[in-house]
Amino acid sequence: MSKIKTAFFCNNCGYESAKWIGKCPSCSQWNTFTEEVLDKGNKTVEKWDDYKQEKRNAKTISLSEVVTTEEKRIKSQDDELDRVLGGGIVPGSIVLVAGEPGIGKSTLFLQDGLRMNQLTVLYISGEESEQQIKMRADRLKIKNENFYLLTETSTQTIFQEIKKLRPQLVIVDSIQTLQSNMIDSSAGTVSQIRECAAEFQRFAKETNTPVFLIGHITKDGAIAGPKVLEHMVDTVLQFEGDRHYAYRILRTLKNRFGSTAELGIYEMTGDGMRVVSNPSEILIAQREDQLSGSAIAATLEGMRPLLIEVQALVTQSVYGTPQRTVTGFDLRRLQLLLAVLEKRGGFQFGMKDVFVNIAGGIKVEDPSIDLAVICALLSSYEDSPLPHHICFAGEVGLNGEIRAVNKIEQRIAEAEKLGFEKIFVSKYNKKSFNPQAYKIQIVALSRVDEVYQQLFN
């Protein structure tokens, strides 16, 4: 009998230590270490040699001998998922999808699995029964004879069923509910999550079968489990959204097969997740009354141009300390823009409350919306509404200059497609596009005070 191996793990961040320590060196939390069994002495590795015909021989070869071929991808029936993954599902890849409870992770991948009727799909659930999954599938109204269910938490039983069925796509809901008998600890612990993920990673790579792992998040928003879980998988997707909005965003945090700047937008309906093909229309409020404090920004998420509505409210401060409140925007960036307006424009925001909101419930990190934020602030400050037919794309520097932004042609084309008549950009972007190629009027300016004179004088 081999010796039983144990280690101590931090319940907060997953840091591993050979002995118990009071304070975690990684996350600085106290009394979070618990002892877990790593190896009970009877560990056996699952063999997948007979799963496929071709054998993989491990040998050392020169880099010049490697033959590069175009990577084959499996096209799902979900255009947004294909875009986020970089063009489709890569065979043999393992994808981790995380999000808040109730956000719609299970619904999205049950829907996508049912739509891929050209593949044999196995949906493994450790949280719900067959009846619960069947009720959700009936609500989705999608029929698929090649879709199979397995409600099990033991990885040994799961792999026995996989060898019988030989699926072409595996969806696991969720990785925190699985349990391997090689580890003597309860499901959801750091060692169990790592071991179960390692077993599925071995299965995916040796059988060339794509695997989706649905995961939980902690109250801080991080993916539950050890940090090594994110390193083990090929792609990490974040499914986010606000419960009070019907829209959900699928972001890429890590992708070995594509860009990490892409995102997909869905709308939660009674029949499941609906793909939003033109998100600019839902992010711009359709209103008839002209109200102050609203400006339209031309931003970019990955390769996709978006037009979003920036709302600002500037009021006289009632309390001693003025408030600065933002939703979907960086608070420090707002403070920087307010300082620029005070220093370079002479506007007194020091004794005023300032509120900024990105309509639609999304979070924007693109600096190109700086100009729209400043124009929304000035519109509310002057209590003068901006015209409906204009939008903005420009970064604002500390000296009040309007800096150039990348991919300005795509932003201009998106604004023209949605019917805008005028767009304000930086004059340093003029070399990047041909104004005669667009019907929209392009106003190129260099400073914030020039924008103020154009809009309010």
163 shares a domain with 216? yes
pLDDT on residue 42: 55
- Please check whether residue 122 lies inside any domain of the structure: yes
Element (H, E) at 192: helix 190-207
- Please check whether residue 56 lies inside any domain of the structure: no
8 A C-beta contact, residue 180 and residue 156:
yes
What is the C-alpha to C-alpha distance for residues 279 and 309, in angstroms, rounded to an integer?
12
- Please check whether residue 14 lies inside any domain of the structure: yes
In the annotated binding site for ATP, the residues are: 99-106
Return mean pLDDT, the chain. 87
The total of structural domains in the chain comes to 3
- pLDDT tens-digit series, residues 138-158: 999 898 899 999 999 999 999
In the annotated binding site, the residues are: 99-106
Can the peptide bond before residue 174 be classed as cis, meaning omega within 30 degrees of 0?
A: yes
**Which one, of 126, 203, 129, lies nearest residue 168 by Cα?**
203
Q: What is the pTM of this model?
A: 0.78
- pLDDT tens-digit series, residues 102-122: 888 999 999 999 999 899 999
297 shares a domain with 257? no
264 shares a domain with 368? no
CATH code at position 379: 3.30.230.10
- Please check whether residue 301 lies inside any domain of the structure: yes
336 shares a domain with 268? no
State the DSSP code for 328: S
Q: b/e map of 417-427 (b: 16 or more CB within 10 Å)?
A: ebebeebbbbb
82 has pLDDT over 80: yes
- Please check whether residue 60 lies inside any domain of the structure: no
Is residue 456 classed as helix, strand or coil in its secondary structure?
helix
- pLDDT tens-digit series, residues 314-363: 999 887 789 999 999 999 999 999 999 999 888 989 889 999 999 877 88
